[in-house]
Structure 1
Amino acid sequence: MSASQLGTSKKRTWSEVNRSRKEEKRKWREINLEKKLEKQKQKAKTKENQLLENKEHSKSVKPFSTLSIAVPGSILENAQSAELRAYLAGQIARAACIFQADEVIVFDDYAEEAGVKKAKFDDGKGEQLARHSCVQLGRILQYLECPQYLRKSFFPIHKDLQYCGVLNPLNAPHHLGPKDGFIYREGVVLNTPVKAEKGSVVNVGLLKLVRVDKVLVPGIRCTVKLLPQDSNNKKLKGVVVSPLLPRSDTGIYWGYSVRIANSLSKVFSQCPYKEGYDISIGTSDKGASVDNFECPKYKHLLVMFGGLQGLEAALENDNVLDADDPSLLFDYYLNTLPQQGSKTIRTEEAILVSLAALRPKLNPEYKLPIFDGSSEEFSENSNKPDVENTRKESISAEGTQDKADDMSRFDSD
């Protein structure tokens, strides 16, 4: 090193060195600040786009006409064994699904009978005490309506469900498999920690979990609409929608709800629709012939079936209703199978016969779009969920993958 170079290096004092370091720090602070501001702008823009996207995807539910059927729970008491009781309930569930019933009401045709065995039933709005046969029928109906991959989350081991594993499956449209590409799915909210400004994680029966737009209570059932996906993300994206939206939007049948009424009168008084049932139809061999029936337009239709002793016994046991003739309770009192060959028609048979006879005559005010499967796939510009991963990865992700109706764990007593 030359003398001149040594001279120049000695000229820098400590104050000059500190000053230069401070300038460098200031420049780095400015660069970091610019980066932070850019990130905040990008975050705000992304959030705004998500809100607009969610509003676009969360359509309001269009009104549509509904069909409700009311069945007495006492029909299970006429079955000779626990296996036959379960099978009878399965037949009613199948009939409700085949004819696209929106609501199944299980009513107690013996009303508040003293000393009868009672049980608790949860219809999603709260628990209530009811006759055990009504509760068992309602519970099996709920179990069969629930998609298979959600059953472990909502139905713990119970004696009422002991033989449900051998029942015929409903095979309803919302019972989707991991490779089905429909945009709506039923799911359960997982107990996964929620990050800031992000929604809950939901298991919808796919090989990937779904991150929704809202923070929900863990353990509840929800309906999710899947959004266009990015294949690089570990989780899919979706928005929580009304359980009525899939049916309203596409016309696809999306299952039924189950309600228990402790008497005949409560079938009407506890109706979930604000304006009640527009048309009520009672079925009996003493009614008018269905051949001459002309159905007026309706928003909400109720079809009621009697038990072993018919609707007459249900009316007689009800302390609230003051009528003597059950035909006075309904807008129409119909015999859905005139000139029947058997002296009696069982309730599970009457449901199939009656709904088949009424179906071509129904006149709903709000008609649903005909589901042709065209909305079954995702849009061409979006990626489908990755369904090619192994089933083992799906099970290890959250441990929530359901096995196919394994009922062998139920107690034998």
Structure 2
Amino acid sequence: MKPADNEAAAVGKARHKDKKQKRKKQNDATDDHCGAAIAKEGAPHEKKKQKQMKDGGEVEEKMKMLKPTVSIAVAGSIIDNAQSLELATLLAGQIARAATVFRIDEVVVFDSTPTSENGDTGDGEESGARFLVRILEYLETPQYLRRRLFPMHKNLKFVGLLPPLDAPHHVRKHEWSEFREGVTLEGDRSKGTLVDVGLSKNVLVEQILEPGKRVTVAMGTNRDLTTACIREVVPPSTPREEMGSYWGYKVRYASNLSGVLKNSPYKAPSDCVWWTCWFGRKH
């Protein structure tokens, strides 16, 4: 090979090597620039992620504070199909027992065929919806309060045939509970209000309340039943919130089907609503 050819080959190799080094430097610079850009973009993304986690934690905490409730709606016409007062009473008892077993918070009885404002059929008889409301409320009330809260009525004739619900708030006389249902009594209001809670003695609460009102009394652990130990009336939801105990169901009358959802006492909207027809299909 001639010397001129050798020199040309050496120059070509040198040029190729220079180009390769320049390309490598350009790639390194590009990688550094992209890395810096990614780092800058990652900072706000991380902040957003932390914010989402914080918001999610707050929502979860609020969900824990809001105890879920379950309401069921029953048509009053189910009673109209019963062939006698005794069978109608037994049917209402089965509904009350099912509501207690499944820890239902509210039973809404809607009148599918209301005939008057007060639920009478026109001949002095109660409509099926009003009858069902009366029996459900009677059975949910502890036995020691029923005589004070429910006057004699012909539609209560066969309630003695129904088995007791044995709900947690149906506390017996010899049992002690941190909360008890009671009814306010007449008497001196200078120190408070006397309440019959189904024990050997009436208890004194600090609030001044009108007689004949059903209340939930916080009994605590002090078993002193004298008036020296003053109790306190609390909301009916307190036993459930503090002890996690089921404390019975509420009964609400709705004059029509739309009133089931419109007049709900619960502030939060319903998360899930199921309607069933006679054939058991969900809608």
Q: TM-score, normalised by structure 1?
A: 0.49
Which of 145, 151, 158 matches 1:150? 145
Aligned to 1:283: 276
Pair 66,231 (structure 1): closer, same or farther in 2 beyond 3 Å: closer
- Partner SS, residue 178 of structure 1: coil
Which of 244, 250, 260 matches 1:251? 244
Which of 222, 226, 233 matches 1:229? 222
- Give the superposition deviation at 1:232: 8.7
What letter is aligned with 1:202?
V
Pair 95,235 (structure 1): closer, same or farther in 2 beyond 3 Å: farther
Render the CA deviation track for 1:33-61: whole Å, top value 9, x for unaligned: xxxxxxxxxxxxxxxxxxxxxxxxxxxxx
Correspondence 1:291-370 to 2 at 5 A: 333=283
Structure 1 spans left out of the alignment, 5+ residues = 1-61, 120-129, 289-332, 334-413
Pair 153,213 (structure 1): closer, same or farther in 2 beyond 3 Å: same
**Comparing 254-263 and 233-242, the one that deviates more:** 233-242
Render the CA deviation track for 1:280-314: whole Å, top value 9, x for unaligned: 111233736xxxxxxxxxxxxxxxxxxxxxxxxxx
Aligned to 1:173: 168
Q: How many residues align?
A: 215
Say if 2:79 and 2:88, in contact at 8 Å, map to a contact too: yes
- Give the superposition deviation at 1:150: 0.3
- Give the superposition deviation at 1:235: 6.0
Q: What CA distance in whole angstroms lies between the structure 1 residues aligned with 2:194 and 2:109?
A: 34
Q: What CA distance in whole angstroms lies between the structure 2 residues aligned with 1:230 and 1:254?
A: 21
Which of 64, 67, 82 matches 1:64? 67
- Give the superposition deviation at 1:147: 0.3
Pair 180,106 (structure 1): closer, same or farther in 2 beyond 3 Å: same
Aligned to 1:310: none
- Give the superposition deviation at 1:159: 1.0
Pair 267,131 (structure 1): closer, same or farther in 2 beyond 3 Å: farther
Q: What CA distance in whole angstroms lies between the structure 2 residues aligned with 1:202 and 1:168?
A: 27
Pair 236,149 (structure 1): closer, same or farther in 2 beyond 3 Å: farther
Correspondence 1:111-260 to 2 at 5 A: 112-113=114-115, 118=120, 132-195=127-190, 198-229=191-222, 231=224, 233=226, 236-260=229-253
Render the CA deviation track for 1:72-128: whole Å, top value 9, x for unaligned: 011111111110010000000000000000000001123x45899617xxxxxxxxx
Which of 82, 101, 107 matches 2:85? 82
Aligned to 1:32: none
- Give the superposition deviation at 1:149: 0.4
What letter is aligned with 1:108?
D
- Partner SS, residue 267 of structure 2: coil
Which of 258, 264, 274 matches 1:271? 264
Pair 209,163 (structure 1): closer, same or farther in 2 beyond 3 Å: same
* Aligned alpha-carbon RMSD (Å): 2.4
Pair 78,202 (structure 1): closer, same or farther in 2 beyond 3 Å: same
Say if 1:108 and 1:263, in contact at 8 Å, map to a contact too: yes
Render the CA deviation track for 1:111-158: whole Å, top value 9, x for unaligned: x45899617xxxxxxxxxx96110000000000000000001110000
Q: What CA distance in whole angstroms lies between the structure 1 residues aligned with 2:70 and 2:117?
A: 34
**Comparing 91-100 and 198-207, the one that deviates more:** 198-207
Aligned to 1:104: 107
Structure 2 spans left out of the alignment, 5+ residues = 1-64
Say if 2:109 and 2:253, in contact at 8 Å, map to a contact too: yes
Q: TM-score, normalised by structure 2?
A: 0.70
Pair 230,221 (structure 1): closer, same or farther in 2 beyond 3 Å: closer
- Partner SS, residue 73 of structure 2: strand
